[in-house]
């Protein structure tokens, strides 16, 4: 038994020492390249609050931004992964405009075979991103976006009517839940062409699946952590970033809606209709557009 415990302790010590050496090498990434950087804290780097879930991603990066006061740019670490943060408005403008061809990737790791919904404009890179952007760009023109304004106004009227009753009696409301239901109505109407009326029916199926997407389980959190730190492991284990049942539901909704409209020659002023029109007019790009439809709806839901 003593021998067993000795082997266990020795192995654990070796792993800890190996991890320390590995992180020390990784934490020298920016220093070796002569780039100013924020000193990382062992072992989680500069963005520990994201990994420990103490702060949202936006709050954590806002903290980093404030620490970079007086700096045009700096390197930081998300545990062992180096990240480059730009603070200078001039450099940001160059990256987003004049040098955009070199900076269009967002740095996400994904596998479309495991999780088809990750094949969207936010996640894709390289030629796939370029091709999908070229196909989708016409759907975001000002005139086409304006066509959805009437749908948005109708959702707003529903919100007004819903609030009239508690306002009339001077009652209190849980505004976060109400706005979440209103937002779901807007997304369902403008993106999917579905009237789910979540303000009146808070337990509507569309609302429940929307909540499932953002209310993550323990497995979802572990998967997200793996994709953040060691994405190759998550992909090797075939873990989808989007929960499979959520992906199945939204892909089914889009597929059935498209089939119904094509069969009944029904048209609506929503984003899905723009994609259907694009699909019908692109022939050779049909497969790409069909794929983008489910990807775009995922992006809308997020």
SS3 148: coil
Neighbours of 167 (CB within 10 A): 11
Question: Would the pTM of this model clear 0.85, i.e. be above it?
Answer: no
Task: Tell me what pLDDT residue 1 has.
Answer: 61
User: Along the 302 residues of the chain, how does pLDDT read in single tens digits?
Assistant: 677 778 888 888 888 888 888 888 999 999 999 999 999 988 889 988 887 878 888 899 999 999 999 999 999 998 888 999 999 999 999 998 888 888 877 778 888 889 988 888 888 888 888 888 888 888 788 888 888 888 889 999 999 999 998 888 888 888 989 999 999 999 988 888 888 889 888 888 889 988 888 888 888 888 888 888 888 888 999 999 888 899 999 999 889 888 888 888 888 888 888 888 887 765 444 444 444 444 433 333 32
From 78, 76, 77, select the one nearest 86 (Cα to Cα): 76
Task: Tell me what pLDDT residue 186 has.
Answer: 92
**Which DSSP string do the residues of 23-84 spell out, in sequence order?**
HHHHTTHHHHTT--BPPPBTTTBT-HHHHTTSS-HHHHHHHHHHHTTT-SEEEEEETTEEEE
Rg, C-alpha atoms of the chain: 24
How wide is the angle at C-alpha 287 spanned by C-alphas 135 and 278, nearest 5°? 40
CA atoms within 13 A on the CB side of 222: 6
Residue spans of beta strands (DSSP E) within 50-179? 73-78, 81-86
């Amino acid at each position: 038994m003593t021998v067993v415990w000795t082997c266990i302790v020795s192995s654990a010590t070796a792993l800890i020492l190996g991890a320390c050496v590995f992180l020390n090498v990784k934490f020298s990434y920016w220093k070796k390249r002569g780039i100013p950087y924020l000193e990382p804290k062992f072992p989680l780097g500069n963005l520990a609050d994201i990994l420990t879930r103490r702060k949202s991603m936006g709050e954590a990066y806002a903290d980093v931004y404030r620490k970079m006061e007086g700096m045009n740019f700096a390197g930081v670490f998300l545990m062992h992964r180096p990240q480059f943060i730009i603070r200078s408005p001039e450099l940001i403008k160059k990256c987003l405009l004049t040098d955009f061809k070199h900076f269009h990737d967002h740095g996400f790791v994904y596998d479309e075979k495991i999780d088809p919904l990750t094949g969207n404009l936010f996640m894709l890179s390289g030629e796939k991103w370029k091709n999908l952007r070229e196909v989708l760009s016409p759907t975001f023109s000002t005139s086409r976006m304006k066509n959805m304004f009437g749908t948005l106004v109708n959702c707003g009227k529903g919100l007004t009517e819903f609030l009239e009753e508690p306002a009339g009696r001077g009652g209190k409301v849980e505004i976060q839940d109400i706005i979440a239901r209103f937002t779901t109505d807007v997304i369902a109407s403008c993106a999917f062409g579905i009237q789910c009326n979540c303000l009146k029916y808070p337990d509507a199926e569309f609302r429940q699946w929307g909540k499932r997407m953002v209310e993550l389980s323990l497995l979802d959190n572990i998967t997200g952590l793996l994709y953040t730190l060691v994405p190759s492991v998550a992909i090797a284990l075939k873990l989808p970033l989007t929960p499979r049942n959520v992906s199945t539901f939204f892909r089914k909704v889009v597929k059935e809606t498209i089939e119904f409209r094509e069969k009944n020659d029904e048209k609506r002023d929503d984003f899905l209709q723009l994609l259907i029109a694009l699909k019908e007019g692109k022939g050779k790009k049909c497969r790409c557009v069909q794929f983008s439809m489910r990807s775009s709806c995922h992006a809308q839901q997020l």
